[in-house]
A and B are shown apart, each in its own frame.
Chain A
Amino acid sequence: MSALSKTVSKMMEIGARQKAEAAQYYTHVDGVGPVPRDIYKYVKSDPLGDLPRYSVHIVIQHFLVFITFILLAATGLPIFFSDVFWAPYAISFFGGIDTARLIHRIAAFIMMFAAAYHIITIVGGTIRKIRRHEFDYKRTQLPRLKDLFDLVHDIKYFLGREPFRPKMEKFMYKQKAHYLAIIWGNFVLIAAGSALLFPDIMANLFPETLGKILPLGGVDADSYSAFFQDLARLMHADEAVMALILLAFWHWTNVHLVPGRFPVQWAFLTGKITREHQIEEHFLEYLNNLREIPEEREYLKNLLKDLRIDSAKTLSTDDQNASSSEQPGESGEE
């Protein structure tokens, strides 16, 4: 008797788990049907991108920052490392130190313009979306607690403990961290760079205003300006070197050289993301795409029809169905 009840409860447990797994695996989309989580393995994508991700403004801003950053690094590094052997050659490439400094300043102003342009774009776009009642904070760069759980989930997936990657929004944890780092870096570089460019104005400004508020350990009032100038010298150089190393060793590699993106991810030119990339890393944004783009809905409906996935399977807890639905197409599994 007790053995029987144990078996029954165990079977019920298995049934509940399979139900939950099926709910995880399939997402029901109106007008399409059940969308399996691993559909990205079966879709066709255009390497140049299928789905909208960045507006033309963002693409232009990225280009402005991209070009000016290279110019700034090329003219700034030889000044910071002025005693290394290649510094005079790098400077003579720009036509002498005075010209190089001028180029550095012009590039810095263009980069600041790009930052202002970006803020206007973001604020303007947000206001427009709020007015149309389309604004959704989940589709923005605002960090959430979910990003932390996504990171843990993702690490489990990389280890093979989870079958699929987390269902993430338009911007995942990595991109949000990078975006915050760029805001911080821009703030530091612009503030410290201004202190270096206008030492006389900054010397007046900092002691008069900040110097009296901030607790400065071991700094007497007489050397406030010296302290802030030393701080600016340190922060400008260290932040710039950090940004350069991160961009050179992480950003470029992460964007262009990882599987599925190699040799170039074209999003920086086209502003579009490939379909398989969108479904894999930004599944929730893909669901938004399905809602907003009729052609995409049509495409996926036809694909699911070809793969013989129908709506009946979403609700089914039948063992046979569940196992067969896990291998649509030729996903060579026993």
Chain B
Amino acid sequence: MAGIFIILLFGSRAEAVDEYNCLMCHKHASMGRIDQNGKRWNYNVDEFLYNHSVHRNIECRDCHTYITKVPHDPVTQKVDCANQCHIKPPFAQDKFSHEKIIAIYNQSAHGIGAEDADVLKNAKPYCKYCHSNPMYTRISEKAVPYRESLQRCFNCHPQRGVIQAYRHITHRLRKKTSRSSQEIVPLCATCHQDVALMRKLNVSERALTAVESYNRSIHGKLVQLGSQKAANCISCHASNALHDIYKKDDPRGTIYKDNIAKTCRQCHEKTNPWFIKIAVHPSEEHGGNPIIYLVSIFFRVILYGAVFSMVGLMLFETFGRWTDGIKFFFRDGTSWRGQSKRRSRKEK
């Protein structure tokens, strides 16, 4: 036990795997170029950040496979996250790869389909759009029952042996390694809040205002105020596979009409067929319902009516009693210390 802690404490200081000495050049902060269009490219790799990322044990060339010699030719290819790298997960026969999750992702609403229009193809996010290394440096940690967090591991790792490996060796999986709700909502909002872009992509009317309406709901309000319990975007729109985000009318989606009950039941244990019809994204301020609109008018009338009539009556009363000779303070056991200024009584 003590040995594990020593390894955990000091083992993490190991340097990045750099067999081909890529950092010899890429460690320089000024490593970069300006292309023909005047765009600046930065090729610097921060060793500290990289050493603390989840990919710290992966060789550069495991992802950048097109580099075969040093110094290398100009890079034209993009990194493919579906590559097999040289890491072999415990109890597995094959080398590790993200291809399973990418297969799920390609099926989802965000995956690029062959029939998509060019504008849609350009707008769809790819792996690096959401997952960038600096975001892995600090994560908010929260204890999660291991059976829950293990569900996510099975996306990539074979099920057999993972539980033993997890219980005996890994420490970091004991903590929730996903981003907090406060990071996820702004991340999804970067595109989904952009109404002009969304309109270009022909999304539905309700999806246009999805972020706005979510922020109006109790889930959105609680996340805005820092709640770790309230549902964020992917709590409802994805399962444990995290990338299987589908449109509402896709039977595989978590928000398909037959699947909503199961999705809600993750938090609301007493979910019933009526409950799932409550609007999670309240569409308008009053739901577009005439009765609710009338009720809101009614409340507003009562509010202003009550406040102005009661405060007005109070001021009027104070004026009336003041002219009849009352003073604000008690003195010598009475507050009726003044002269009445009433005309009607003087005439008598």
Contacts and interface: CB of A to CB of B under 8 A. Distances in A.
Contacts of A96: 226-227
Q: Which 7 A-B pairs have the closest CB atoms?
A: A158-B320, A44-B333, A82-B221, A200-B270, A238-B299, A260-B335, A203-B275
A324 interface: no
Nearest to A251: B310
Interface stretch (A27-35, A125-133, A227-235, A290-298): A227-235
Contacts of B200: none
Interface in B256-284: 268-272, 274-275, 277-279, 282
20 contacts: A41-B325, A41-B336, A79-B218, A79-B221, A82-B222, A82-B224, A83-B224, A154-B317, A160-B320, A161-B344, A174-B310, A200-B272, A216-B291, A225-B275, A238-B299, A242-B303, A245-B303, A246-B306, A259-B322, A262-B329
B287 interface: yes
B33 interface: no
A242 B221 contact: no
B139 to A, nearest CB: 19
A124 interface: no
B164 interface: no
Interface residues of A, number: 79
Given A83-B224, A98-B228, A259-B335, A201 B311 contact: no
A201 B278 contact: no
B344 A222 contact: no
Contacts of B289: 218-219, 227, 230
B344 A160 contact: yes
B75 to A, nearest CB: 44
B292 A260 contact: no
Interface string A239-266: 1011001100110011000111011000
Given A82-B221, A199-B268, A260-B326, A225 B310 contact: no
A214 to B, nearest CB: 9
A238 B303 CA distance: 9
Interface in A271-318: 276
A323 B347 CA distance: 12
B292 A230 contact: yes
B133 interface: no
A224 interface: yes
B77 interface: no
Interface in A113-148: none
A79 B217 CA distance: 10
Nearest to B268: A200
Contact of A91 (B225, B302, B306, B316): B225
B307 interface: yes
Interface string A134-172: 000000000000000000001101111101000000000
A283 B343 CA distance: 24
Contact of A160 (B271, B314, B317, B323): B323
B290 interface: yes
Contacts of B277: 203, 222-226
A331 B42 CA distance: 93
A276 B228 contact: no
Contacts of A241: 303
Nearest to B294: A217
A332 B345 CA distance: 11
B179 interface: no
Given A161-B344, A200-B272, A253-B311, 10 more contacts: A78-B225, A82-B220, A82-B222, A100-B225, A203-B278, A218-B291, A229-B279, A242-B303, A250-B314, A276-B334
A72 B321 CA distance: 36
B331 to A, nearest CB: 10
B316 A158 contact: yes
Nearest to A326: B348
Contacts of A208: 274
Contacts, number: 192
A254 B314 contact: yes
B248 interface: no
B299 A235 contact: yes
A258 B334 contact: no
B226 A97 contact: yes
A73 to B, nearest CB: 15
A40 interface: yes
A55 interface: no
A12 B225 CA distance: 79
A259 B272 contact: no
A154 to B, nearest CB: 7
Interface in A81-103: 82-83, 87-88, 91-92, 96-98, 100-101
B293 to A, nearest CB: 9
Contacts of A231: 291-292, 295
Contact of B278 (A101, A229, A259): A229
Contacts of B296: 234, 238
A218 B334 contact: no
B345 A333 contact: yes
Contacts of A154: 317
Contacts of B322: 259
Nearest to B229: A98
B313 interface: yes
B159 interface: no
Contacts of A253: 311, 314
A331 B336 CA distance: 11
Contacts of B27: none
Given A83-B215, A97-B225, A199-B278, A234 B306 contact: no
Q: Which of B220, B319, B334 has the most CB of A within 10 A?
A: B334
Given A83-B224, A226-B277, A235 B215 contact: no
B286 interface: yes
A307 to B, nearest CB: 14
A40 B336 contact: yes
Contacts of A196: 218
A333 B346 contact: yes
A233 B292 CA distance: 10
Nearest to B312: A250
A235 B295 contact: yes
